[in-house]
Amino acid sequence: MNIPLIGFGTYDIPRKNTERCVRQAIELGYRLIDTAQMYNNEAETGVAVRECGIKREELFVQTKLSSPCRTVQAAVDSFHQSFDRMKLDYIDLMLIHWPQGGETETWKALEQIQRVGLVKHIGVSNFYPGKWGELCQSVNVKPCLNQIECNVFYQQRPMREYMAKADCMVQAWQPLGEGARKIFSNETIREIGSAHRKTAAQVALRFLVQQGISVIPRSQNPEHMKENIDILDFVLTEDEMNKIRALDTGHSQYGWPSDAWRY
């Protein structure tokens, strides 16, 4: 699977701004766009992808099923709602947004849809070992990617090791922690940034990308969009990586870990 390491997230971008933001992101060089049924902006994301002037095969578009589907047919129908809204010939990656019951049926539906070519790849989000293990017992195609909360303050080391053993790519949602925990003014991150003439946001994203984790930061501000993709021209030293590793609290900012591991 050839998935770009840096993508553009669209959570909480209002419908009226989505087409502009996604087009701007693509103009600035983003090639991966992440949306979801739940973000209520799949249609506008589809317009931007169709009309941006970049060849479809150069873009990687992913969305997520969020309605709980108890039957294969319900999941097929739910997929087609996204597909009809986005009006693309195919979707690059379809994820189950989170485990909420009916995962096996939903997965069967995604496998069927992948076989007919409407979706190229299938994966999951917020699946922790319990649910991951359950799902993988009965699949024909293993999920190729797991999108999970991951940032400098919640580095998800055990989970990343688990996914590496399962040969599954990790993609970080909220790679900037949604700006919480004073990430942009953190002294360690800022100091490391000054040594490279980079901002705290760039260091926080670089830290993940340098470990092979895909990131999908969101912004409606073109300066920030530009900043967030401009992270491939510097390398954090091992000493800098270790300083950032030491910022890990081991906790989700939503208090999710214990629940999540029980999923």
Q: Using an 8 Å Cβ cutoff, are 80 and 47 in contact?
A: no
Residue 113, both tokens? 């849809």
Active site residue 162: no
Residues 206-235, interacting with ligand NAD (CB under 6 A): 216-219, 224, 227-228
SS3 247: coil
Q: Is 263 in the site for ligand NAD (CB under 6 A)?
A: no
Mark 139-158 with x for binding to ligand NAD (rule: CB under 6 A) and - for no binding.
--------x-----------
Residue 208, both tokens? 């993940």
Q: Is 201 in the site for ligand NAD (CB under 6 A)?
A: yes
Residues 90-129, interacting with ligand NAD (CB under 6 A): 97, 125-126
Q: Is 181 in the site for ligand NAD (CB under 6 A)?
A: no
Q: Using an 8 Å Cβ cutoff, are 214 and 169 in contact?
A: yes
Nearer to ligand NAD, 115 or 163 (CB): 163
Hey, which residues does 122 pair with through a beta bridge?
A: 94
Q: Using an 8 Å Cβ cutoff, are 43 and 85 in contact?
A: yes
| Number of neighbours of residue 250 by Cβ within 10 angstroms | 11
Active-site residue identified among 11, 30, 39, 254 = 39
Pinpoint the alpha helices (H) of 116-151.
129-137
Q: Which residues bind ligand NAD (CB under 6 A)?
A: 9-11, 34, 97, 125-126, 147, 173-179, 184, 201, 216-219, 224, 227-228
Q: Which residues does the annotation mark as catalytic?
A: 39
